[in-house]
Copies of this chain bind each other. A is one copy, B any other.
Amino acid sequence: MADPPEGTTSEADEEIMGATYRALQEYGYADLTVRRIADEYGKSTAAVHYHYDTKDDLLAAFLDYLLARFVDAIHEVETTDPERRLDLLLDKLLVDPEGHRDLLVAMLEMRSQAPYKERFQERFDQNDEYVRYVLRTVVDDGIDRGVFADVDSDHVSRALMTIVDGARTRAAVQPEGADPGALATARRTADEYVDAVLLRDD
């Protein structure tokens, strides 16, 4: 990656990430080209390659960008009440993606390539570890405060991520306008799971 003049990187990167997002939504991963990203960016392919040598470099950076956006979204969850906090985190994971089916399709394509592309694998692993950490932390806090049952918080975080990943896969491949939608089903399932496992009286 070339070294652009100080002060312009961040803005150009942000614009290219936005262009990548739109191009992925429009064409999906398999038909994505640097040409199409450049068209969305409104500049030449050379202008894109100035920042990213290859399409895979760009897509690895895009996965980092999505992870950073998700971290920001998590920081918006300001409540420290464990039950309420877990509820809002599950909304971020299972309600906010509603209406972004094209992105879910593109992400599923990229994730299916992770076993073949180490840089994709690293990003998806990092994302998964981060989200599980956030979930485990709120569960542990709830246990410490006596509002959640004394559960295996590592398992609970993995169980909830299983529901989240099931929702992502199912929402990507379900027919348009499916009722009930995959995300709504998963949100309800996560609630039932939390009620049963964390909020049980014992």
The interface-forming segment of A2-10, A59-67, A84-92, A112-120 is A112-120
The interface-forming segment of A69-77, A133-141, A159-167 is A159-167
| Cβ contacts under 8 Å, A192 to chain B | 159, 193, 196-197
What copy number does this chain have within its complex? 2
Name the prevailing secondary structure of the A interface residues: helix
| Contact mask for chain A residues 122-163; partner B; CB cutoff 8 A; 1 contact, 0 none | 001100000000000000000000000000000100110111
Q: Would you give the shortest CB distance from A26 to chain B, in whole angstroms?
A: 13
Please report the C-alpha to C-alpha distance between residue A161 and residue B186 in the assembled complex, in whole angstroms.
Answer: 10
| Cβ contacts under 8 Å, A155 to chain B | 180, 185, 188
Please report the C-alpha to C-alpha distance between residue A195 and residue B159 in the assembled complex, in whole angstroms.
Answer: 15
- Contact indicator A112/B189 (Cβ below 8 Å): no
Please report the C-alpha to C-alpha distance between residue A30 and residue B162 in the assembled complex, in whole angstroms.
Answer: 25
Show the binding face of A for B, using Cβ within 8 Å. 28, 30, 105, 108-109, 111-116, 121, 124-125, 155, 158-159, 161-170, 172-173, 175, 180, 182, 185-186, 188-189, 192-193, 195-197, 200
- List 16 extra interface pairs beyond A155-B185, A163-B189, A165-B165, CB under 8 A: A108-B111, A111-B112, A111-B173, A112-B112, A112-B173, A155-B180, A155-B188, A159-B188, A162-B166, A162-B185, A162-B186, A164-B166, A165-B166, A166-B167, A189-B193, A196-B200
